[in-house]
Structure 1
Amino acid sequence: MNNTIRFIINTAPTTQARPRHAVRSGFSVTYKSEQQKSNEQTLEALIAPHAPKEPFKEAVTVLFVAHIPVPQSFSKKKRELALAGKICPTKKPDIDNLCKQLLDTLTRLNFWLDDKQVVEISAKKMYAEHGKWDVMITGYNDKLNENNK
């Protein structure tokens, strides 16, 4: 049985922002910024249609490709090199923060029972004309069976 989900999310990849801290009425509180809440809502709305009817119950592997829009400041030549994959996005956003945002969203949408089931992550960020995410989730046992064929 092939237990793989693959989809594309047509939105610029964003990172998981750090929680904010404040003191209100003498109490320390932790909260999310409005931008973070908005990013989470957008991702949830775009990913929800791809959620499985039943969450994965076994170990899973996850492949993420973050397509980062080429900066407007790039010259025409540098833009062409970036789109050809000859220049990689080595500035922010950090790839681990990109993964965190997506993994947390997939967990909230019940792609699996608990994110501790994720035993392997492969992530890549590259330049593209438009921002998007390419996501593939595979049951780990299915991946092992495919590799042994």
Structure 2
Amino acid sequence: MTLTAIRFVVPGQPVAKGRARARLSRTREGRDFIQQYTPADTRAYERSVAFEAKIAMERRTPITGALVLIVHAYFGIPASWPQWKQREARSGLVVPTGRPDWDNIGKICSDAMNKVVYRDDSAIVDACVRKRFSRDPRIEIEVRTLNPLRREEPELLDENMVSET
């Protein structure tokens, strides 16, 4: 049987993919060169996502074919907010519109699952990242094969927001 979908949760506050950094370094011979590296918090979060993905995969082989990635990022509600705003955040009336950017959340998740859930994230042909508030900060990730006979948009988009042309 071929694996067609995987779902798992990464507990804790969502982290976005940090920009690659560069620093000037020197070889033992004294030659200068530019060394590029990934920030430590990005590497640590990618390890957390990969760890949860490995558990969910249960030693199965990576999913093949065209893939759909759905990420639900739930951020903690700031304790400094007034009670009315915390209630609205819990009910979904207030959503996280600031940083981190949605695309950096999706990028850290897709990069972390390379060679664990799929061979390469280039197989992802559709993706959706949602940011919401919750008392329980976490990221819920779903990866599934694209079924060309099934219309994917209703799950990924609110039908009321799609205009007819």
Q: TM-score, normalised by structure 2?
A: 0.80
Q: Provide the aligned length of Structure 1 versus Structure 2.
A: 145
Bigger share in helix: 1
Q: Tell whether 2:30 aligns with 1:22.
A: no
CA offsets 1:43-69 (integer angstroms, 9 cap, x no match): 222322013611122101111100111
Q: CA deviation at 1:29?
A: 0.7
User: Structure 2: 5+ residue runs without aligned partners?
Assistant: 27-31, 152-165
SS in 1 for 2:113: helix
Which shows bigger deviation, 22-31 or 46-55? 46-55
- Which range is displaced more, 116-125 or 43-52? 43-52
Mapped partners of 2:103, 2:137: distance in 1: 17
Higher relative contact order (CA 8 A, sep 6+): 1
Structure 1 runs of 4+ off > 3 angstroms?
144-147
Percent same amino acid among aligned pairs?
21
Task: Determine the structure 2 residue equivalent to 1:129.
Answer: 135
**2:89 partner amino acid:** A
User: Deviation at 1:21?
Assistant: 0.7
Give the structure 2 partner of residue 49 of structure 1.
Answer: 55
Equivalent position to 1:104, from 111, 133, 140: 111
**Unaligned segments of structure 1, at least 5 residues:** none
Q: Which residue of 1 aligns with 2:160?
A: none
TM-score, normalised to structure 1's length? Answer: 0.88
Distance in 1 between the 2:44 and 2:3 partners? 34
Deviation at 1:81, TM superposition (A): 0.2
**Maintained 8 Å contact 2:10/2:48:** no
